Structure 1
Amino acid sequence: MLSGLLRNPFARRPPTPTTHLLPEGPVTLDESYDLCREFNKRHGTTYYWSTKVLPRIKQHHVHALYAFARYADDIVDEIPSQGGRDVPVEERAAALHDFGDRFFADLDAGRSDDPVLKAVVHTVRAFDIDTDTFRRFLRSMEMDLTVESYETWDDLLDYMDGSAAVIGEMMLPILEPTDHEQSLPSARDLGNAFQLTNFLRDIDEDLDRGRQYVPLEDSRRFGVDLTDRRVTPEFVSLMQFEIERCRELYRSAEAGFAMLPPRSAKCVRAAHTLYSRILDKIEEQQYDVFTSRASVSTAEKARLVASLLR
């Protein structure tokens, strides 16, 4: 990520790359899972708090999936480099390709010596998670290296199929729904809802990276140029439109709750509630996503989890 960037003290400070947490030398499977948990705790606090509702025996598997996605995302956004120089796209593409090759080779072998992939491979094989979901995920990460914007909502959905919807698909075997196929649309909708929430919260940060995830046709419809970074009446109307689109995804995802075991349903409800609250926070700050990062406090997250564990 854009580590070390100094900005308005009330604005978001992007997290540092996960790679600085990697140990030197071999690790045990337990140590690999502990490392994945640390990635989640530091960088995905909403997911982290939501997993606490799951039975302990399943929590570390969710951490492993998060760590896989986070590590790939960090490769795309910035590889730690000598002297802090900008890393050429070609180098990041090669590193992402190598990461994917290593993962699939280790998956075929049934084991890994990589400090992150050791736990990921174990989780994937333990729950027989469809490996195609990982290929689709890596495809979308590769798109982030060259695609700067998306013309239509359908174009964005194509990207989100690999960056978001597949996360819901990966999670299903761990959550153990009563009917996998019937619960699939809800899982995909929730993954997309989380992703779109991130896009709306992080418009300013994504502009720093030269990316726009709000469909260009929507921006034109409301007469908005996001690169102006101004909260105009037109921008507010655009945000209201996108937030309602996002809430429709959250509502659609609720149909899947009844198909999950009680603890899994509570976990998904917690994530659903905490993430959708970010949309409320954006509204509370008058849609100004340029000078303040909408977030749910740790205290709020802890209170919700505590209430679900009673």
Structure 2
Amino acid sequence: MIRTVESSAPATAPVLAAYSYCETVTGQQARNFAYGIRLLPTPKRRAMSALYALSRRVDDIGDGTLADDVKVARLEDTRTLLARVREGHVEEDDTDPVAVALADAARRFPIPLGGLDELIDGVQMDVRGETYETWDDLKAYCRCVAGAIGRLSLGVFGTAPGAPGAERAPEYADTLGLALQLTNILRDVREDAEGGRTYLPSDDLAKFGCAAGFGGGPTPPDGSDFAGLVHYEVRRARALFAEGYRLLPLLDRRSGACVAAMAGIYRRLLDRIERDPYAVLRGRVSLPGREKAYVAVRGLSGLDTRHVVRRTVRRRP
């Protein structure tokens, strides 16, 4: 069982300022994520914002325009910062607000900070321009950049006291992260291809005649079955969601609502992509703010959580 061990000591003014900075970053840069964590109690919301802010810094290094050797050096600097956090060497007057907030969060919750090292490993794979031949290859990458985030988040959420099967919570959190990342990959197919990146497994691309790529416009390669490729990956993502949703009954009500809201937004994105596979070649598929708010309200009310739990229980062997 994973239980949070939140410190009862109030945060000091410098720490509160650091958290405020992280929450601003989260609100501006991660609207889907921000909708979900609004449902958490304040200490958990702050901790999740600190995790996001550090994760965003790592992603921005990988996605930026710096030379690859500079990116590698910046990523290693971030790894050194993580070591300082882990060893308790970040003081409240540190000039890096993300480091201050993350250090406080790590004191309050049993966050497995090694997951952030895994994230750095995944972004280094991006910097090297790695491609993926099989789903197993891509899954290893997704575990670094998304599954690890699920496990880090679980350190903040904890599991509900007495929840049966709580020992499997990290596994389910990891799998739900994979579901979210595969949805991201489908949504960003054109944007990634135009940036010279291809994440979908080459075996899958070849199976549907898409090995020539699809970054040049809304028309996929001649003779390809792009819709078939998308539907194939959607089915894979749905299977991951079904397994990952087994996490929900293991969480307390508000943590479960947070996860249900974030995952629910991505499930709705997946629904849109399934209905119109070619939409991802025309631009980024997204949900309007009112629909995200609706999903968040359903999560807080427990409607989505109860529905998913009932469906998950029925599917268990």
Question: Normalising to structure 1: TM-score of the pair?
Answer: 0.84
State the distance in 1 between where 2:16 and 2:200 align.
Answer: 40
1:160 corresponding residue in structure 2: 142
Equivalent AA in structure 2 for residue 257 of structure 1: L
Q: Does 1:118 align with 2:100?
A: yes
- Does the CA contact (< 8 Å) of 1:110 and 1:125 recur in 2? no
- TM-aligned CA deviation for residue 280 of structure 1: 1.5
Q: Does 1:173 align with 2:146?
A: no
Query: Tell me, what secondary structure is at the counterpart of 2:196?
Result: coil
2:269 corresponding residue in structure 1: 278
Percent of paired sites with the same residue: 31
Q: Give the 5 Å matches for 1:137-156.
A: 137-156=119-138
- TM-aligned CA deviation for residue 261 of structure 1: 0.9
Gaps of 5+ in 1: 1-26, 79-85
When structure 1 is superposed on structure 2, of 229-238 and 288-297 the one drifting more is 229-238
- TM-aligned CA deviation for residue 172 of structure 1: 1.0
Residue deviations 1:220-271 (CA, integer Å, cap 9, x gap)? 1111122454346611100000011001101111212111111111111111
Residue deviations 1:42-64 (CA, integer Å, cap 9, x gap)? 12111100111112231111111
Gaps of 5+ in 2: 1-12, 302-317
- TM-aligned CA deviation for residue 102 of structure 1: 1.9
2:60 corresponding residue in structure 1: 74
Equivalent AA in structure 2 for residue 122 of structure 1: D
Alignment partner of 2:177 out of 182, 191, 195: 191
When structure 1 is superposed on structure 2, of 109-118 and 144-153 the one drifting more is 109-118
State the distance in 2 between where 1:246 and 1:75 align.
Answer: 27
- TM-aligned CA deviation for residue 187 of structure 1: 0.5
2:6 corresponding residue in structure 1: none
State the distance in 2 between where 1:101 and 1:90 align.
Answer: 17
Following superposition, which runs of at least 4 residues in structure 1 exceed 4 angstroms of deviation?
A: none
When structure 1 is superposed on structure 2, of 188-197 and 35-44 the one drifting more is 35-44
- TM-aligned CA deviation for residue 285 of structure 1: 3.6
Q: Give the 5 Å matches for 1:24-39.
A: 28-39=14-25
1:51 corresponding residue in structure 2: 37
State the distance in 2 between where 1:70 and 1:180 align.
Answer: 29
1:41 corresponding residue in structure 2: 27
